[in-house]
Structure 1
Amino acid sequence: MPLELIDTKFENDLDALLHFQDVLLKAVEGARDDELNREFQVLRKMMLADSTYKQAIPPFVRRYRDLGSLWPAFKSFSPQWEPRRVEVRKQFEPALKIAERAELFVTNELGASGYDSTAWTGVSTPTDRIKAVKTLIPVTLLAIEQLIASLEAPNHNGAPPLDGAKEAIEQLRALHSALGKLLAAADEGKIFDTLNDGLATEVARYAKRAAKALRDDPIPYAFSAMILAVMSACGFGNIAGWLAGVAINMKRK
């Protein structure tokens, strides 16, 4: 049974798996609240019950039933939290690749993305991608900062931000952090190692979830589309095709 059919808050298998990875990335930093542990247990059960992913999930997920028992495994990865995060992403790659292939197949079958984005982004070589990241990501970071500031500003009637705005702000902050790491990796000449650790997929997910949360607010939604377009020009996967849906939904009065 597909993962998204078990918990309808997920758009698809890839979304569910990336959320599971997020839970573990928080856990490697020491987070241990009851809600996080419950999410781990539910998502672990989902993955073990799905024959598509059962053999691809990280061994430590199969072995341990809760976050408390996982702590020794995390410490065995490294005494520092950042190498632990890298290891979690690395071990999730096999399952994520399966889900990415499935999502790409569905997208192509629906006709949303039957083309190579390099034909219009100009990002066709590793050198081009590094140049695009170092040139456009700073612009994207500034755009995200301005969008967050706009969403956090008090409404004209003093009312708090809507639920959609709160979700968008959370995803935009995560996106800003992930893009900052990519930019730092590009400056250090290590961007392809970072991309291979799954950060690019994580970045794409944050961007798409932020845009989805803003779809009922025309101006921020259009601004989020611009952010997605700039990221597509940097060569991020699963962004170009998704922009088609954004463009369609922007046709509003």
Structure 2
Amino acid sequence: MSVHITGNSHVVCLRHAGDALAEVGAAAFPLGNGKFESERFSRVESGRVVLDPEQYRTNVERRTGAPTIGADAVWGFLQIGHGARVWRDATWLTHAPAAVAGADLQPVSAQVLTAIIERDQAGLRAFYEDLLACGVRFFAIAAPAPRRDHPALVTRGIRPEVVAEIDRAARRIWRSWLAERGVPLVEAYDASTDAEGFLHAHLGATSTPGGEPDRSHANDEYGRLLLPGIAEAVRSLG
């Protein structure tokens, strides 16, 4: 049984976990840029899932020998289900979820926030529905919590409580959606976050694979926190 683990740039936390993943027959590789995830990026043809971005097709074919995804392997997908595209938007300089808006920010109701998050998750939801329709055995892997040193907070000035509230809402919505469809979710949220919902500083990556400063992703230690859950998910689907 082949087990492929892939995703957007957050899969970098598993790049040095080859030996541990190999113990359950798995290997990790990058699928490509997460910018495609908020729009539909997949379709079903002849019982297999076709990925529209050329970058995704190329990386899948390089790893598996085929540019499409079918029911002949187990897959794990580490993609953005935590609302980063939502909370880093400049809207949140003047607006906030109602629960944390206070007196100086325009409150956004829970219903409106849910609609915003669901719109952001639309592409991933469609992709997972395509996988389910084709009988693909797969599980989701949660991306790390937001970092306190993320440019959206440090440079742009979006308030930490706003980011944390949106992140919690997005994760709650994503967990519920996956659970309703019986899709296993691997996460290390409780073990990796502080009391306010931010990634522990020692779990943050310091540089990208290309050597640039990194204030968005998690490091190998975070990846190791995911390994027991990945192993359990593979066993349950194998």
Q: TM-score normalised to the size of structure 1?
A: 0.30
Q: TM-score normalised to the size of structure 2?
A: 0.32
Identify which of structures 1 and 2 has the higher relative contact order when contacts are C-alpha pairs closer than 8 Å and 6+ apart.
Answer: 2
Larger proportion of strand: 2
* Structure with larger Rg: 1
